[in-house]
Amino acid sequence: MQKSAAVTGAIVVAFVGGLVAPGVFGGSGPDTADTEDSRWTLPAAATKAWFPPVGDYKTDGEPLDDEKFEALMTAFGEAMTADETLADFEREAEVHLMNFIRRLGPAEISEQQKDRITARLAALAEEHPEHGGMISRRAGLVDSYSRPWPGGGLPSLSGSLMIFGDVDEYDTGGEFFEDAQVDELIARLDAGLNIPETLADFEREAGTHLWRFSGRLQRGRLTPEQVERVAAYYEELKAEHPDAAEMLAHETFMVRNLIPGNVAPNIVGKDTEGVEFSLEEYRGNIVAVIFTGQWCGPCRGEYPYHRFVLENYGDRPIVLLGVNSDAELETARQAKIDENLPYRTWWDGHGQPDAEAAATEGPIATAWNVSGWPSIYILDDEGVIRFVGKRGGDFIAALDELYTEMRMRSVISAPSGMVIPASRPQPAKKAN
């Protein structure tokens, strides 16, 4: 996901995520990589340029002229009646509808144009009554998409293409990926990066595919050889897309440093009271690094689980550390009071005075290549990343697992007759 559009991109992903059914590309998940039944292909709707170039619809919020509108409507009609579409309507039409509707995003759509779109979708639902629910859901997006998106931006297609399947399907339970699993993930990424819609706006569209690819890799562990395989692929992409070199460098850093099994990069910054501290100061504890912000609804949804840990695990060597991305420092400070979350937090919104609600390009989030919020890393007492993306009850279960492991190590290594304390205290750090 392009860093300059991280917040907008996150909204787009949340808004259109799931518009394409998870099975639209066939089998998904690492367990099915080698079976004939799991072979997957992109739908024809994604592999061909069915619609006018996306650049034609980037009007910076100005009205969409009739000529471009007619070209869009004509292309839509041809796409929805193509043999490839009719052969597997549900699968193909999902992508066509999203590609059609998202081209409305950058422009101001007149009431007459909107009425024509609504009427065409209603007629389509009558023509395909067995798919009427899906078409109606897409029609429900027309009103939102017919008003200019922030900055006249174009909503992404990549956010709705479930090329990699559900992220939890890649959880290896802390084990290494098989080579075949990594190769299939790369193949799926390569397919997504080479569809016409991606190539037409590479940095924006590719960013979401890369983000999801990295997120799948973070659910398991990579051998050194697998790391080099992924890094080599990124180098090939740099040669093909030199304008995206910086984005790809961030992805390379992630695969080399932010996959489970690696010691987490140190973080040095100021907390919400202006006191500098570092992640390494908490070595010896199980640490959860939580990229969060009051602006982020899913982040707030995790607060009850954080409070549970603070209220019930005070006698354990478990530390929560936040990285706050609110644009205003006072917002971050007040949230800690209002939400009863007194754990220490870096404020990462420095130097971004133009941000309205969120400052997602802070130095810490940028260094850790964070493109989606919340992002949660759980480290063991030696600073090694063990879990990424655990939320809700899974977050608490992961902390419990590492605490049990830590206790067992202490028992095994203790001299005969020595009494092992239930826990050891956390560093005497001020909770700001």
pLDDT reported for residue 350: 73
268 strand-pairing partners: 278
Buried b (16+ CB within 10 A) or exposed e, 37-64: eeebebbbbbbeebbeebebbbeeeeeb
Q: Return the structure tokens found at 19.
A: 């518009």
pLDDT reported for residue 174: 87
323 strand-pairing partners: 291, 346
Query: What three-state secondary structure class fits 6?
Result: helix
Q: Which helix (H) or strand (E) holds 278?
A: strand 276-278
Residue 254 phi, psi (nearest 5)? -65, -45
User: Taking phi first (over 0 means left), then psi (-120 to 50 degrees means alpha), and beta for anything else, what does residue 61 get?
Assistant: left
Query: What three-state secondary structure class fits 326?
Result: strand
Q: What is the pLDDT along the chain (432 residues), one digit of tens a residue?
A: 333 333 333 333 332 333 333 333 333 333 333 433 334 688 999 999 999 998 888 888 889 999 999 999 999 999 999 999 999 999 999 999 999 998 988 888 999 999 999 999 999 999 999 999 999 998 988 888 888 776 666 778 887 788 888 888 888 988 999 999 999 999 999 999 999 999 998 988 999 999 999 999 999 999 999 999 999 999 999 999 999 999 999 999 999 999 999 999 999 999 999 999 999 999 999 999 999 999 999 999 999 999 999 999 999 999 999 999 999 999 999 999 999 999 999 999 875 655 567 888 899 999 999 988 999 999 999 999 999 999 999 999 999 999 999 999 877 765 655 544 444 444 434 444
pLDDT reported for residue 315: 93
DSSP assignment of 20-42 equals S-GGGGS--SGGGTT-GGG----
What is the architecture of the domain spanning 268-413?
Answer: 3-Layer(aba) Sandwich (3.40)
Alpha helices in 65-108 (DSSP H): 66-81, 83-87, 89-102
pLDDT reported for residue 197: 93
Contact by Cβ (8 Å): 78, 70 = no
Q: Give Cα 310 distance to the centre of its chain.
A: 27
Which residue in the block uniquely carries the two structure tokens 């619609």? 51
Q: Return the structure tokens found at 267.
A: 């973080």
Residue 376 phi, psi (nearest 5)? -130, 125
pLDDT reported for residue 388: 96
Contact by Cβ (8 Å): 85, 79 = yes
pLDDT reported for residue 376: 98
Looking at the chain, the domain(s) classified CATH 3.40.30.10 span: 268-413
pLDDT reported for residue 55: 85
298 upstream amide cis, omega within 30 of 0? no
